[in-house]
Amino acid sequence: MSDSSVPVFELGDPLSTLGTNTVTGVFVPGNKIALSAYRHVKHNSRDEPTETAGEAPVLIYMTQETTLFDEPVLRSILAEANATFVTLQQLGLEASRAKYVNISRAYRSIVRASLEKLHLAKMSPEVQTDEKRLQRFTDAIIVFYAAECLWHLFEILYVQNNQMVVRQLLEWARFHSPQTEDRATDLVLMEEEASEADDYWSILKSLILLGQVDFVRAMLSQNRKAGQPAFRAAELILKSMPVYQEGYALQKFNSQWEHWHVDTQRKITANVFATEPELEQLLKLVAGDNKEWDAGIMESQDWYEYLPGYLLFTKPTCKPYELRIAASNWLNRWTLLRPDKQLTNMSRMVTQLMEHDIKLFIFEAQKLNDTHWFSTHLIDLIYHSGQLKSYFDQHNIDLPALRHSMIYEYGSYLMGSHNLWQLGIDYLDCCKQEGKATIELLLPRIPIRSERLATKLISLARQRGLVSVEEEICKVLAKRSYDNQRYSNALEWAIRSKDVRLVTAIADHILKHCSETGKLLCGDTLTYIGGRMFASPRLVFLTKYHEFHQFYHNRDFLVASELLVNLLESKITPNYFWPSLIMDALPLLESRDPKIFAKETITILHQIETALVPIIEQNKEKHGHDHTAALLKDYRAENIADIMNFMRLACARNLARALIFENTVK
Amino acid sequence: MSSAVVSTHYISEKVARVRWLPEALQQSERFVTGSWDMDKNFVRLWKLQSNQHVSATGGDDVEQIPRCMDKVAMEDDVTAVEFVDNNTLAVSCADGHLSLMNVQRAVEEDQVQRVARSGQLHCFQRSQEPAPCTDIAIYGTDIATTGEDGCVNIVSAENIRLVKRTIEADSMALFSLCYVSQQELVAANRMGVVRMLDARLATEAQPNIGLMLPCRDDKSSNFVSSITTHPSQQHILLCGSEEGTITVWDLRNLEYPASYISAHDSPVNEIGFHRQDTTKLFTASETGEVWMWSENRAYGGDANWKDGNSPWLSGDRVRALINVEGVITGTRKAMNSFDVHGSRLVCGGDTEAVYIVDNIA
């Protein structure tokens, strides 16, 4: 958590260290940087191949920021916070204060629960033996402990909107130095024996410094000498200490407190506790004796550790705006006494919160190594609760814009990270057009490993009205299936993609395959294609042709012939398929009992002459006589000229038969 | 439903399937989850344990929390999990394999172990790349699997390495599968065609019977996202669709669907009846809803539904005969799977959490 530790990593690329070479990097979508060797070329550099051309390979390295969230345990922070984040968005800007406090608590409880999980996981043998993971866990615990601590303080000072803060601050300090309390609990459980414990008095002193009066009383009452006057007097002082309660008249309380304070000091000076020096020390602390508190400061870890305790005994009615002065005074005192101690980042951030320097606090919060989890969610809460609106206005900070950009960054980070996209999309949803555009960019980039995943992506895109994304995904899958020779699958994806050309291309392939081999692929799909065939005229043709095939196959020749005639005059027949269609018509035309009526036969002839003949002519012009055979052919007949001859002959015969048949009076 | 209590437990994994361990005489305390789309996917065994952190005031505290007892690492996404018998579960994976796992219940630490893994059941013919296995169905000791390659494979739980029958059921990816009887299977593809298959016959001899799922827009596709049969009246087939509708077929009359119900507004990821109480149906949707459909007793109750009739087959009147209640709403992220045992429902999905609902109905 220190500023000076800039992340450094080594790139063992020989090319980049050669001569004047250096390294260049480009940002790649998905929070990556592509690094490669680079040589600066100026307008006057000579245009020639480098000396290493063709020898040393140019390597491109992809780098990505490591994050704590690679650890599965921590994923729940992201997932759970995501749910809370969305709840807050639904709450809007106008909810009651209590609701925002609840949200704030929800965030903190997420972190606390995860800290607990982290501690447990850290103890597990698989982590203990893996040094790298152990370090990761330690880092994560530090980061999230800090996040919780700061969030808690923030909640007390800026979300709860308390009139008095000392009670809450005590609670805060108590939670963040649990060792003393744990030891005190042990001692209380030991009952009388506790008085002999070596650390009995030092624990008592720490408890007083932390303002834990109730604990102190419990421990004192168990002392062997509890019956003695000095102890009884101490108990009386602690018991009678006035405690401010919300709604109590402040003036009245102040006078009561003043009276109690003076009384305590008087008792100390009257040497009531002279027989018990340790006890006297405690009570001096209670009376706010500066010398004793200075001694306390010398033992504290962080500057803020004993501040709430000090306030309890010297200024119990401290208001949030008074805290600023009290805190800076206390900090000055601490630095004077402990000049050797450097302030940690966390201590600085606590100071900033207490001194109402939110701007700097947010700036520092972004340096936490949590990929902005803390700062993003906090800013969002600040924005919604509206508590600090005037502060931001005064400091000329555009809070909505700040929130927007942080959520946007965080969302696109999640969206770009492997398997966190479902969480990221919610954040981007809050970012209006910009978010939508980013979703549109990033959603199709998610690698599709299974069709189930694809349907999920499509469903997400559909909910947001991102038609282009849906179509793009379908197109990719259609292409993929096509390459895999899974034409039914490709066809269905193509229909979903609503890309007419793609559907046509696949239908073309199926038709061409049919005219080359006589086998119609995808029969089972074409049977059920129904209204979807209108995706492309070619598909309509294919479907109808398939239908014809089915009827023909089932020896339902009359219906089949009708369909075939329809196809022939439909004007959607692809050029290359004419020979096959005609070859299919031949047996029907040559059938002994006419299947095709005279009128329809004429139609067929008409179509051949008006549609097919021009195509043949065109082909001849383009490719000369030889090529026509190759272009227009069917597996049953190679030469188009033969086909035409057969056809004309068949038509003539059928016409003759049909005319006789139709005009015979039965 | 007012008494139903929902508790949420974040487990850091996207849940593909969740199943209670079968218990004959008591409320099941253990369930298994299979994860998907993670760096490492697991099948985990969970046991409900009393919450250590119950505060003195009680209040909103959750009484029981699931604790992970054991896990088995999988090669790829888990796509389906079903129990074959009380201790054996079949797990299908996106790498086209099927695994059998054995669960050992214990007082302290339960265990789950993989006992067998099948060969490559599903792969794309041309590239020979593995095709994701999409669903499994179980009848007795027979396990049927479907995959994106359009095949249905039937293996026996006694030896899953031996494929009893492979049916090339469809040339399109199959999404869901269900047994109607020991011999009959239904498999549904992405275009919305439900095919009837006979487990005894080879591909060529399969009856060419297909049902087309109705669709709001004739020109677009509507895939069958989940499929189930009524536990006691197996001729009633319910299909959840991509559009969020439920189509009910009476398999004795295939001409047209018996009922068509608009339900969710996103794909129905899982559909299934309560294991013991067949008057209740549950559905889970892609937008994170779990609904309970219960037969309306006010309309004459069971007596009216003899002779194989069922309110589910009553066409337009279904809505009047069946009540719908939301069990879980507002999670917004896909609810992929649920399972009900006794009065408890467990469900999970892409929120990376499992939800346990007590006192259901």
Decide if A278 is inside a domain.
Answer: yes
pLDDT in tens, B20-43: 999 988 889 999 999 999 989 999
Pairing, β B111-117 against β B98-104: antiparallel
**B37 vs A524: CB contact, 8 Å cut-off?**
no
> Is A45 within a domain?
yes
Judgement on whether residues A314 and A198 belong to the same structural domain of the protein? yes
Final residue of a structural domain among A284, A318, A352: A318
The verdict on residue A218 lying in a domain is yes
pLDDT classification of A110: cutoffs 50, 70, 90: very high
Q: Of A245 and A324, which is predicted with more confidence? A: A324
Task: Give me the domains of chain B, ranges plus CATH numbers.
Answer: 5-54+63-358 (2.130.10.10)
How many domains would you assign to chain A?
4
- Assess contact for A115 and A146: CB atoms under 8 A: no
The DSSP secondary structure of B151-188, one letter per residue, reads EEEEEETTEEEEEEEEEE--SS-EEEEEESSSSEEEEE
Which residues of chain B lie closer than 8 angstroms to A80, CB-CB? 10, 353
Question: Contact, B190 vs B175, CB < 8 A?
Answer: yes
Q: Based on the domain organization, do A87 and A121 belong to the same domain?
A: yes
- Quick check: A452 contacting B, CB < 8 Å? yes
What pLDDT band is residue A219 in, cutting at 50, 70 and 90? confident
What backbone phi and psi angles, to 5 degrees, belong to B43? -105, 125
Same domain flag for A173 and A147: no
Q: What is the pLDDT of residue A173?
A: 87
- Distance (Å, whole) CA B90 – CA B17: 12
Instruction: Let me know whether A145 and A182 are in one domain.
Output: no
Q: Is the pLDDT of residue A209 over 70?
A: yes
| pLDDT for the residue numbered A274 | 83
Q: Contact A489/B171, CB-based, under 8 Å? A: yes
Please give the Cα distance from A391 to B268 (Å, whole number): 48
On chain B, the residues whose CB falls within 8 A of the CB of A492 are 172, 190-191, 221
Residues A391 and A308 in one domain: no
pLDDT of residue A428: 93
How far apart are the C-alpha atoms of A160 and A38, rounded to whole Å? 55
Q: Give residue for tokens 């298959």.
A: B197
Instruction: For residues A310 and A233, state if they share a domain.
Output: yes
Q: Is the pLDDT of residue B53 over 90?
A: no
Q: Where are the beta strands (DSSP E) in A85-206?
A: none
Same domain assignment for residues A183 and A152: no
Which of A92-101, B232-241, B303-312 shows the lowest mean pLDDT across its residues? B303-312
Neighbours of A204 (CB within 10 A): 25
Q: How far apart are CA B264 and CA B245, in angstroms?
A: 7
Q: Verify whether the Cβ–Cβ distance A489 to B173 is below 8 Å.
A: yes
A79 to chain B: which residues are within 8 Å by CB?
A: 10, 12, 351-353
Q: Collect all residues of chain A within an 8 Å Cβ-Cβ radius of residue B39.
A: 70, 418-419
**Position A616 in a domain:** yes
Torsion angle of the four alpha carbons A125, A128, A130, A133, in this order, in degrees rounded to the nearest 10: 110
Q: Which helix (H) or strand (E) holds A168?
A: helix A166-176
pLDDT at A666 over 50: yes
Provide the percentage of residues in chain B whose pLDDT is more than 90. Answer: 66
What confidence tier does A1 reach under pLDDT thresholds 50, 70, 90? very low
The neighbouring-strand residues paired with B292 are B282, B325
- Note down the domain range covering A658: 556-666
The pLDDT value recorded for residue B184 is 92
What pLDDT is stored for residue A382 in this prediction?
Answer: 92
Task: Answer whether residue B267 shows pLDDT above 60.
Answer: yes
Helix (H, G, I), strand (E, B) or coil at A303: coil
pLDDT band, residue B58 (cuts 50/70/90) = very low
> Is the CB of A529 less than 8 angstroms away from the CB of B223?
no
User: Exposed (0-12), middle (13-18) or buried (19+): which is A490, by Cβ within 10 Å?
Assistant: buried
Same domain, A608 and A568: yes
pLDDT tens-place string over residues B96-111? 999 999 999 988 889 9
Q: Are residues A184 and A104 in the same domain?
A: no
pLDDT reading at B348 higher than 90: yes
Query: A526 vs chain B: nearest CA distance in angstroms?
Result: 11
Please name the residues in contact with A455: beta carbons below 8 A apart, sequence gap of 6 or more.
B223, B225, B242, B267
Q: Output the pLDDT for position A300.
A: 82
Could you say which of A70, A488, A534 has the minimum Cβ distance to residue B171?
A488
- pLDDT band with cut points at 50, 70 and 90 for residue B299: low
> Are A508 and A479 in contact, with CB atoms under 8 Å apart?
no
Of the candidate ranges B226-230, B319-323, B347-351, the one whose mean pLDDT is the lowest: B319-323
- State whether A608 and A652 are in the same domain: yes
Does A324 reside within a domain?
no
Interface subset of B 260-279, CB within 8 angstroms of A: 266-267
User: Is A665 part of any domain?
Assistant: yes
pLDDT digit string, tens, across residues A26-54:
887 667 788 888 888 888 877 877 777 77
Does residue A187 share a domain with residue A140?
no
With respect to residue A549, please indicate whether it lies within any of the assigned structural domains: no
- Torsion, Cα of A16, A21, A27, A32 (10° steps): 10
| For residue A658, pLDDT beyond 50 | yes
Chain A contact set for B223 (CB, 8 A):
455
Q: How many CB atoms lie within 10 A of CB A294?
A: 13
Mean pLDDT of all residues in A15-34: 79
Instruction: Return d(Cα A317, Cα A428) in angstroms, integer.
Output: 44
Q: With contact defined as beta carbons under 8 Å apart, do A37 and A15 qualify?
A: yes
Lowest mean pLDDT segment, chosen from A7-21, A57-71, A478-492: A7-21
Average pLDDT over residues A97-116: 92
pLDDT of residue B31: 95
Contact residues, chain A, for B11 at CB < 8 Å: 76
**Residues above pLDDT 90, as percent of chain A:** 28
pLDDT at residue number B1: 43
Residue A223 lies in a domain: yes
Question: Dihedrals φ, ψ of A592, to 5°?
Answer: -65, -50
* Closest in A74, A484, A528 to B193, CB measured: A528
Indicate yes or no: CB of A485 within 8 angstroms of CB of B79. no
If you average pLDDT over every residue of chain A, what do you get?
86
Last residue of a domain, one of A303, A318, A333: A318
Which region among A662-666, B82-86, B277-281 has the lowest average model confidence (pLDDT)?
A662-666
**A255 & A393 share domain:** no
pLDDT at A2 over 60: no
Q: Is B10–A419 a contact, with Cβ atoms under 8 angstroms apart?
A: no
Q: Select from A318, A353, A375 the last residue of a domain.
A: A318
pLDDT in tens, A469-506: 999 999 999 999 999 999 999 999 999 999 999 999 99
pLDDT at A3 over 50: no
A64 touches chain B (CB under 8 A): no
| Percent of chain A residues topping a pLDDT of 70 | 97
**Looking at per-residue confidence, does B261 or A591 come out higher?**
B261
